[in-house]
Structure formats: structure tokens, C-alpha cells
Amino acid sequence: MRGPTGDVETMNCDRVTGSRRLTTSSYRRESLAWSVARFALSSGVTALSATGMLAQTASPTRSTGRPITFEDFAAINAVSDPQISPDGQRVLYAVRTTDLAGNARTTVTYVVPLQGGTPTQFPDDTTMAAEARWSPTGQMVAYIAHGQLSVVGQDGAGRRQLTTLSGDATGPQWSPDGSRIAFTSSVYPDCADDPCNVARAATAKLNPVKAHIADHLMFRHWNVWDVGTRSHLFVVAASGGTPVDLIAGAQYDVPPPPFAGSEAYAWAPASDELAYTAKDQGAADAWSTDLNVYTVPASGGRSTVITAANRGGDQNPVYSPDGRFIAYASQTRPGLESDRWRLMFFDRRTHQPREVLPTWDRNADGYLFTPDGRAVVVSTTDAGREKFYRVPIANGAATARPALLVGDHNNSAPAVAAGSRLTTARTGAAFVWMRDATEAPAEVYAASLTGTSVADVRQLTHVNDRLVGELRLNPAEDFWYRGADGDSVQGFIVKPPQWEPGKRFPAVLLIHGGPEGAFLDNWHSRWNYQMFAAPGFAVIVINPRGSTGYGQKFVDGVMKDWGGKVYTDLMDGVDAALVRAPWIDPARLGAAGGSYGGYMVNWIAGHSDRFKALVSHAGPFNLENMDAATEELWFPEAEYGGPYWDSTAMATQYRRFSPHLFASHFATPTLVLNGELDYRVPYTEGISMFTALQRQGIPSRLVVFPDEGHWIGKPQNQRLWWSEVQGWLEKYLHTADAKAQG
């Protein structure tokens, strides 16, 4: 950690006892109002209590219900992807259900009137439709079923399957004139037609030799090996016909893997052109973050890159309603995936880009134009919640600072009725989005979007109301404290379902991955706060430096300082939580984290004995090995200052912040979990951590999932994961003397 002494050990640890110093922190002796007021002034956050440090969005603790079980967790249906009809009268949305016995998940689509009513499965009760999209007139709907693209009338009649491609189809988008649909499909780039793709795949399947041979890096990514296929952008007539590969022969993917979807491409209003995101850096793909935005004629032809001058990432184009501008998100610093995503406008007349909000210190995570083109709705993370801001636009420039539009709880996936009008607060454009919270799974919400605000906000779907009503789910309570740099740091506390006044409870500190990311006030599909709380634990959630939603300087604070000030933020955050919630027992604390959070758990293992149990999921253990084995090399080279053979990076990072160098100080019982298909943090990092624990006789357990990657996603694997995690924490935290457990 960079500091006055430059000595990470003396600043953060007592190396005689190996424990984190628990002396009274300076923030306890100072006015809490200082921290709250300073943060509010610097970020624009309001409505914080300087005395209670609770955000106004916190809801009362539930007094009835039972703790959530894994069966409940799996039974919560995942609602997503709201799509409002052009006339603003109906909403399509997806519902994913889990079949534990079948170890599978299924997605279907429903439609519901905007004014409320009984949802019906679309297009009928036997079709598993996903990615449903209204045609520009609202008379037709495109959707994906069984991996292929189909269209159907808005009443469910007249169904036609448009594709039979071997590489499947996904991500349908209608042309504005309604004549064609864009989508993506997997191909062998050197194949001229689908029979060639079929033959190539069959040959590979029948070959008894399954060796992987590579001549360049990025030979595997996330959880799959490169087998030579690429995702390409296609267009097909809505009436049917042969799909056209718009980027035939391209050696890159549209959308870029591993997570991008149909937000990576868009139609021009005149239906004559598409813009798309791609990464075409050749051998540098493994260490470059230089994504670009391209345009291509809708009938096929040569693609033109419009962002070549910028060496950082550029992505997710959206055309303005008048067709003059292409909005996109851009990062200026090459090789840095955590740089601020700036909102840019590319002028199609002058061919010049312009940053729309140069002084706004937040990410443009998502954006859409209002139907009249006079404003952009921007999605961003701010202080632990996803929020929507409205930016007024004229002549391709912002005319005022972003104004908060929707900020309660956690919000995502906004959509506005393209055919509606912005008039008065009573008759504004129909607006829908997803909202969730720590105590509430996501549901579709609706409102009227006026010129400057939203009105008539209401919950439109109630998919999970019955089950949620049976459970005792406590909300996230915000608190703020002074961090390692004297700045304000935010955290959440979630009470256990068994909470009652006068009782003390153990607690689990959760540490997010990234490290440039954030834990939000949301219903997490994996690291769910309620599941951690269910056995009777308080949950302490900290967003230390490195977290998004607090400004770019705060995000950058973790780079080249992995075990430094972030560690201080976390330990001081635990101290602050103990002051805020004196009912937490400081003698029964655990910590759990995944990815970078797993790294920090491994780091804590060598620097503190204040925790009675640790859970490390997919955590880097030996940074030199990690750099040599991971696939996205831009990440460690930015975070550690260069590759491990760089002498400066080696001296200041790899040999300073690698947890394996402190293995002799390990003493805390630790559960280690990994996926064998994890190519981001290879599972051998977990094996090395477990070996170090076992060789020193420290209680430890290793769980490796051979069919999972960085995340554990299959239902029955998730059940085992939760059983192991909850069981480990219960074993060591539900007793005052954890060491007696052996």
C-alpha cells in the first residue's frame, strides 16, 4: 500500500500477533456529519442522515416470515427484459424459472397490459420464447425459440420461423421500417454458407483427437476454448428468405464476448445502415481493450470504423431519432477496462466525435434517447444503486447537467414507447424498467416519462410477491465512514431474519470482485445477501476504493495497491459497522469474497486473525502465476503495472501484494471454492491456497466444480455451493470459541 511509510505490514497489521489492530479508529472521535456532508458535496448524493447514517430508501425491518432456504432462492423467478409496445399499451417481459430436479433453467415470455391486468404467456402457453421484440408498428413480434428466430402476430397468430442456422440465432432487432431483422449467429469465418458450417462442425465432432493447438494468445476466454467460430451480424427479411452475413469473413465477433448482447449493434433510423461493436486487434486481442464502433450498409458491404482515433474501448452504438448522431460509450485510457465510460456523440455529417458530459464523474453504463430526441436517459451506478438520469440535448450537446430521474432502490433495463409523445405529466411517454432491492427480487415497473421527470410510478408485475411474502427479508441499511484517504466510504448492513432487540449475532463481511465493481442494493443472483443472512448472520457489505459509483478517482484507488488502502477501507468499515450495529458480536466475524474478493480473503488470511472463518471463491493466490495463466492480459498488466518480468512491477506489486508470500501467517479456517472451467482465475490458484493451508494444519476445505467457470451457475451446483458456504460459516461462527471447533 502506498503511504507515508510504504510499509504495508506496519501500516495494516501487527506482525507480532498477526491481528488487525482494533484500537478506536479516528472516525469514531470525529463528527459523523463531516464524512456525510463531504461525500454529499463531492458526488451530489443527498438525503443522508448524519446521525443514523441511513439512506431514506431503507425500508422497515420485516417482523414476520421465515428465513429463506436454498429451495426458496431457486424458486424465485428471474424477471427481466421489459419491452414496451410502440403505442405504449402492452409490455413483453421474460421470466426464467429453475428446475432443481432437472438441473436446468427455462425462460418464457409474457405480455401484460401497461395499465395492469392478468399476464399471459406469449405467443402461447407451449412456446418457450425469449428476447421478444415488438416490430415498429407493434403488429408483429420477433423472438428466439429453440435457438432460432421466429416472428408472430401481436395476437400470437401467423407464426413463421425465419432461420434454421447451425450456429443458432440470438439478439433480434427490427429495422425501423419493419422490413428486416438483425441478429447474430455463430459461423466459421471462412465458410461461405451454412452447409459449410455444418460440415466443419461435424468434422470436429467426429475427430477422436481433441487437442487444442494455438499460435497466438486469447486461445481461450472466460470458460471456453477458441474452436475457430465467430459470432457474426446477420440481417433477414421479416417475410423470410436467406439471411445475409453483413461481416462475412470477419475474424472478429459481433457482439464481443463474453457478455455483450444486442446492445452492441443498432439500426439507423433510415434502415439503410447498422452500427456495431467489435474488437479487431489481431494478436493484441489478449492485451488490448481497443473495442471500436463500425458502420455497415444494411444490404452488406464494407464496414467502416468510426472510432479508430481512440485507443481505449468504444462500444454500444445508439442512433439519435433524427439520424444525425450515433451515441456510444468510450474509454480514453488504453488497456484499462475500468476507465470511465464517457457518453459520446458521433456526428454523421462532420464525422467528428464529441463528449456529451465531460465533467460528469460517472459511467454511461446505458443510454436511450427520448422519442422526441430532446433528451437522453442515462443509466449509471451511484452510491450503491443503479439510477437513471435525464440529460437534455440540443444540437448534439448537453444543455444542462444530468438530473436524477429514477433513484429509489436499484434500477435497470429502461425502455420507452417509441410511438408515444412527450407532452404533459398526465400524458407522458410510457416508460418501463426493472427494479429490485436487497429484500425484493426484480419486477417490472412502469411510469409516465414527462419532459423532466417520471410520474405515476407503479409496480407492473408481481411474479414473486407470494413467495417473498412468506419470507423474512430485511433491507440494506446504508452507513458511511471515513476511509483510508480520509474520504467517505459506503457500506450496507443487512440484519439476519432472526434479529430482535437485545440479542447479539455473528456477522459475515462480503467483499466484491472486480476489483473495479460494486455491491449494490439489489437481489443478487449468486452472492445473495439474504442467503448469507439466513443462518442467523448479520451481513456487512462494503464498497471500498475500487468500487464504481463514487467517482473515477475512487475507482482508480485500487490499481497497483491491491492489498493496501482497500484492505484498510474494509477493516475500518467493519469497525464502523460494529459501532453502527452494536448488536453484532465482534468475536464472531467471518469474511467471504469471490474473484478479487477471493484475493482479498486470501490477503486477509495472511494479515489478520480477527475473523473466525473465511470463504475464498476463485481468488488469486500467486500473482505471478495468475498473470501467466489468465486470458485477458490487459487486466493484470494494468492492475500490477506490467507483466511479471517487468522489474519495477515485480518489486512494487507482484512481490508485495501476492497472498502466497504471507502464507506462513495463515491461521484462520478457510473454505476454498473454484470452477475448473475458470480461465479468468485458473482453479489452480485455489488448489495452491488449499495446499498452503493443509500443509500448515489449518482447518480448510476445497470444493472444485469441474463443469463450472468463474461463476457457479447450474442449479444443483449452486445448491452444493450454498450448503458448503453456509455450513462452513455456521461451524465457526455459531460458537463463541471458534478455535474449539478444530
pLDDT for 269-326, tens place per residue?
Answer: 999 999 999 999 999 999 999 999 999 999 999 999 999 999 999 999 999 999 999 9
Sign of CA dihedral 327, 331, 334, 337: negative
> What secondary structure, in 3-state letters, does 685-699 show?
HHHHHHHHHHHCCCC
pLDDT band at 52 (very low <50, low <70, confident <90, very high): very low
pLDDT band at 418 (very low <50, low <70, confident <90, very high): confident
Residue pLDDT, tens place only, 161-220 = 999 999 999 999 999 999 999 999 999 999 999 999 999 999 999 999 999 999 999 999
pLDDT of residue 79: 98
Bond into 544 cis (ω within 30) = no
Q: Do β-strands 700-705 and 670-675 pair in parallel, antiparallel, or remain unpaired? A: parallel
The yes-or-no verdict on residue 419 having pLDDT over 80 is no
29 vs 686, more confident:
686
490 backbone φψ class: left, alpha, beta (φ>0; ψ -120 to 50)? beta
pLDDT of residue 254: 98
Share of the chain above pLDDT 70, in %: 89
CB-CB contact of 648 with 678 (8 Å): no
The yes-or-no verdict on residue 7 having pLDDT over 80 is no
- Rounded CA separation 631/643 (Å): 13
CB-CB contact of 331 with 351 (8 Å): no
Distance of CA 507 to the CA centre of its chain: 25
CB-CB contact of 589 with 735 (8 Å): no
pLDDT of residue 452: 86
The yes-or-no verdict on residue 34 having pLDDT over 90 is no
Share of the chain above pLDDT 90, in %: 88
Helix, strand and coil percent figures for the chain, each rounded to 5: 20, 30, 45
SS3 39: helix
The yes-or-no verdict on residue 688 having pLDDT over 70 is yes
pLDDT of residue 54: 34
Where do runs of H (alpha helix) occur along 546-619?
552-556, 565-580, 596-605
The yes-or-no verdict on residue 739 having pLDDT over 60 is no
386 vs 450, more confident:
386
- Rounded CA separation 738/487 (Å): 35
CB-CB contact of 405 with 73 (8 Å): no
**DSSP-assigned beta bridge partners for residue 231:** 186
Q: Write out the H or E segment, with its range, that includes residue 649.
A: helix 647-649
pLDDT of residue 420: 53
Burial environment of residue 647 by CB neighbours within 10 A (0 to 12, 13 to 18, 19 or more)? exposed
pLDDT of residue 263: 98
- Phi/psi of residue 109, each to 5°? -115, 140
How long a stretch of residues is the chain?
742
Residue pLDDT, tens place only, 127-163 = 999 999 999 999 999 999 999 999 999 999 999 999 9
CB-CB contact of 372 with 422 (8 Å): yes
pLDDT of residue 612: 98
CATH fold of 8-69+471-596+613-618+722-736 reads: Rossmann fold (3.40.50)
The yes-or-no verdict on residue 44 having pLDDT over 70 is no
- Closest among 164, 281, 177, 304 to 234, alpha carbons compared: 164
439 backbone φψ class: left, alpha, beta (φ>0; ψ -120 to 50)? alpha
pLDDT band at 63 (very low <50, low <70, confident <90, very high): low
Residue pLDDT, tens place only, 343-378 = 999 999 999 999 999 999 999 999 999 999 999 999
- Rounded CA separation 373/273 (Å): 19
Mean pLDDT calculated for residue range 418-438: 75
Burial environment of residue 399 by CB neighbours within 10 A (0 to 12, 13 to 18, 19 or more)? exposed
pLDDT of residue 20: 30
Q: Write out the H or E segment, with its range, that includes residue 318.
A: strand 314-319
- Rounded CA separation 273/294 (Å): 10
- Rounded CA separation 48/321 (Å): 38
Burial environment of residue 541 by CB neighbours within 10 A (0 to 12, 13 to 18, 19 or more)? buried
Mean pLDDT calculated for residue range 562-581: 98
The yes-or-no verdict on residue 43 having pLDDT over 50 is no
Q: What is the mean pLDDT of the chain?
A: 91
Bond into 255 cis (ω within 30) = yes
Residue pLDDT, tens place only, 72-92 = 999 999 999 999 999 999 999
Burial environment of residue 504 by CB neighbours within 10 A (0 to 12, 13 to 18, 19 or more)? middle
CB-CB contact of 444 with 113 (8 Å): no
Residue pLDDT, tens place only, 629-669 = 999 999 999 999 999 999 999 999 999 999 999 999 999 99
pLDDT of residue 708: 98
CB-CB contact of 666 with 688 (8 Å): no
pLDDT of residue 64: 79
Where do runs of H (alpha helix) occur along 127-217?
194-206
State the Cα angle at 168 between 163 and 169, rounded to 5°.
Answer: 65
- Rounded CA separation 721/724 (Å): 5
The yes-or-no verdict on residue 47 having pLDDT over 60 is no
Return all residues near 33 (Cβ < 8 A) that are at least 6 apart: 50, 51
The yes-or-no verdict on residue 2 having pLDDT over 50 is no
Bond into 321 cis (ω within 30) = no
Looking at 170-184, 425-439, 688-702, which range is the least confident one?
425-439
The yes-or-no verdict on residue 470 having pLDDT over 70 is yes
DSSP per residue, 335-399: T-TTS--EEEEEETTTTEEEES-TT--S---EEEE-TTSSEEEEEEEETTEEEEEEEEEETTEES
- Rounded CA separation 446/260 (Å): 26
Question: For the chain, how far is it from start to end, CA to CA, in angstroms?
Answer: 33
Q: For residue 174, what are the CA distances in angstroms to 2, 37, 179, 405, 714?
A: 52, 48, 8, 28, 32
- Cell 414496451 sits at which residue? 84
Could you state, in order of their start, the residue ranges of all structural domains in the chain? 8-69+471-596+613-618+722-736, 78-161
256 vs 742, more confident:
256
Return all residues near 145 (Cβ < 8 A) that are at least 6 apart: 127, 128, 129, 130
